[in-house]
């Protein structure tokens, strides 16, 4: 949809003209998966697939939301309503409502209603963080339209709070940070323990990142995700009986090995091994990129996938097929699943002149094995949420 179409849709929906158009990106993650809530490092970036919103002020106290993707009814509530939406066809509004509720609770003045027409070209459930894209979109709309003096990282934290407390997924901060702090052509090397971060230009030379989407809906992903968070919490508790640490991100491979007897459980051993090694791999990967050793970066990306498959057990036939098929293609340095797992997307780092071949060959293998099509996108790295 182009900009004019979005304004037209707003007018069709609400019967008045819209005022402003906003965009908020989605995200991919180069490496550092399931490390954020373990106090480790991540290395994500914001992408040009994302969510648009047309905003218009109202002179009453109602918020009216319409999703051009859901095509259901307008969801309407007052600015003082703090209850999460319970009905299945209204739950999507919680990502917006949570941001509004928490900003108001922080004392920010949002004193009149508004209409919002929302449309995303980020495939829903694609593991490209449509939820963080929407949370940070709402945050940006409110920040700009109501002139809120809020630091961007505080807005990111409210995005995570919305996800955790209003929606109910115990996610880490990676997605909201990647989206909210996105910078064109840069990835963000973020220490999730301290929130110290560094922008690093994604210097891939003759290579590019291709996003490979499974097109599978992940219905069980949320409960499995919360299970992994709980398992890592239990592992940490057992390690803390002898180690003075606050997160799994604080230990290296040797320390893990030395104290692994405290875990004494196969599942906890595997989960912890992933959390610890993936964090170290992420640090190594940024060093390899800086040194221009792209082959090493690729191997670390492959290792990340293998660890997510065997130790963290969050992959699946669809994601494995994409990564493993990509490994076989010429010009591919590395490929792995990204995000929470089970469905969603994978990425491949591939030589630019082999990208079309990769999409074709992996597409064929995927169709044969899985029975329906995967989708492919070239990743364009962009800035965080803003008014257009």
- Would you tell me the crossing angle of helices 130-145 and 94-105 to the nearest 10 degrees? 40
- List, as one string, the DSSP characters of 373-388: --EEEE--B---SEE-
**CB closer to ligand GLA, 145 vs 278:** 278
Rule CB under 6 A: say whether 171 interacts with ligand GLA: yes
Residue showing tokens 């939820």: 131
Rule CB under 6 A: say whether 95 interacts with ligand GLA: no
**CB closer to ligand GLA, 175 vs 318:** 175
Identify whether 175 is a catalytic site residue: yes
Maximum CA extent, the chain: 66
Radius of gyration of the chain (CA): 21
Least distance from ligand GLA to the Cβ atom of residue 31, Å: 10
Catalytic residue selected from 59, 175, 293, 373: 175
Tell me the window of 11-19, 30-38, 68-76, 182-190 that interacts with ligand GLA (CB under 6 A): 30-38
Rule CB under 6 A: say whether 172 interacts with ligand GLA: yes
Q: Which of 34, 90, 97, 218 binds ligand GLA (CB under 6 A)?
A: 34
Q: Which among 227, 232, 98 has a CA at the least distance from the CA of 163? A: 98
Cross-strand partners of 52: 23, 119
Tell me which residue has its CB nearest to ligand GLA.
171
Rule CB under 6 A: say whether 37 interacts with ligand GLA: yes
Ramachandran angles phi, psi of 291, nearest 5°: -80, 0
User: How many residues line the site for ligand GLA (CB under 6 A)?
Assistant: 11
Work out the number of other CB atoms within 10 angstroms of the CB of residue 325.
24
Rule CB under 6 A: say whether 278 interacts with ligand GLA: no
Residue showing tokens 């965080």: 384
Rule CB under 6 A: say whether 44 interacts with ligand GLA: no
> Do residues 116 and 53 touch, judged by C-beta distance below 8 A?
yes
Q: Which of 135, 175, 231, 311 binds ligand GLA (CB under 6 A)?
A: 175
**CB closer to ligand GLA, 35 vs 67:** 35
**CB closer to ligand GLA, 162 vs 329:** 162
- List, as one string, the DSSP characters of 274-319: HHHHHHHHHHHHHHHHHTT-HHHHHHHHHHHHHHHHHTS----HHH
Which residues carry out catalysis?
Answer: 175
Instruction: Give the residues lining the site for ligand GLA (CB under 6 A).
Output: 33-34, 36-37, 129, 171-172, 174-175, 339-340
């Amino acid at each position: 949809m182009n900009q004019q179409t979005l304004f037209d849709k707003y007018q069709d929906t609400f019967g008045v003209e819209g005022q402003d158009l906003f965009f908020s990106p989605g995200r991919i993650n180069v490496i550092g998966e399931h490390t954020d809530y373990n106090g480790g490092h991540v290395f994500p970036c914001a992408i040009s697939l994302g969510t648009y919103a047309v905003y218009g002020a109202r002179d009453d106290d109602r918020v009216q939301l319409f999703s051009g993707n859901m095509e259901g009814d307008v969801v309407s509530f007052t600015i003082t309503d703090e209850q999460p939406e319970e009905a299945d066809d209204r739950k999507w509004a919680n990502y917006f409502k949570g941001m509004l509720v928490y900003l108001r609770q922080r004392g920010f003045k949002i004193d009149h209603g508004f209409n919002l027409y929302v449309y995303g070209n980020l495939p829903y459930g694609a593991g490209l963080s449509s939820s963080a894209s929407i949370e940070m979109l709402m945050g940006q709309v409110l920040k700009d339209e109501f002139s809120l003096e809020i630091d961007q990282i505080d807005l990111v934290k409210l995005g995570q709070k919305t996800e955790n407390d209003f929606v109910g997924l115990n996610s880490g901060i990676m997605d909201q940070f990647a989206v909210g702090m996105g910078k064109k052509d840069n990835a963000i090397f973020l220490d999730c323990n301290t929130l110290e971060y560094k922008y690093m230009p994604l210097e891939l030379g003759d290579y590019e990142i291709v996003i490979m989407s499974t097109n599978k809906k992940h219905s069980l992903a949320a409960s499995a995700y919360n299970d992994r968070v709980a398992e890592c919490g239990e592992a940490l508790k057992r390690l803390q009986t002898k180690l003075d640490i606050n997160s799994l991100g604080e230990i290296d491979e040797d320390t893990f090995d030395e104290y692994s007897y405290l875990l004494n459980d196969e599942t906890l051993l595997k989960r912890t091994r992933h959390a610890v090694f993936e964090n170290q791999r992420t640090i190594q990967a940024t060093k390899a990129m800086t040194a221009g050793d792209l082959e090493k970066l690729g191997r670390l990306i492959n290792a990340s996938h293998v660890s997510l498959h065997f130790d963290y057990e969050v992959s699946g036939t669809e994601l494995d097929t994409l990564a493993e098929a990509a490994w076989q293609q010429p010009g591919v340095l590395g490929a792995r699943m990204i995000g929470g797992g089970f469905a969603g997307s994978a990425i491949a780092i591939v030589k630019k002149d082999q990208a079309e071949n990769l999409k074709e060959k992996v597409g064929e293998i995927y169709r044969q094995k899985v029975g329906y099509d995967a989708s492919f996108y070239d990743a364009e790295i962009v800035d965080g949420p803003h008014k257009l």
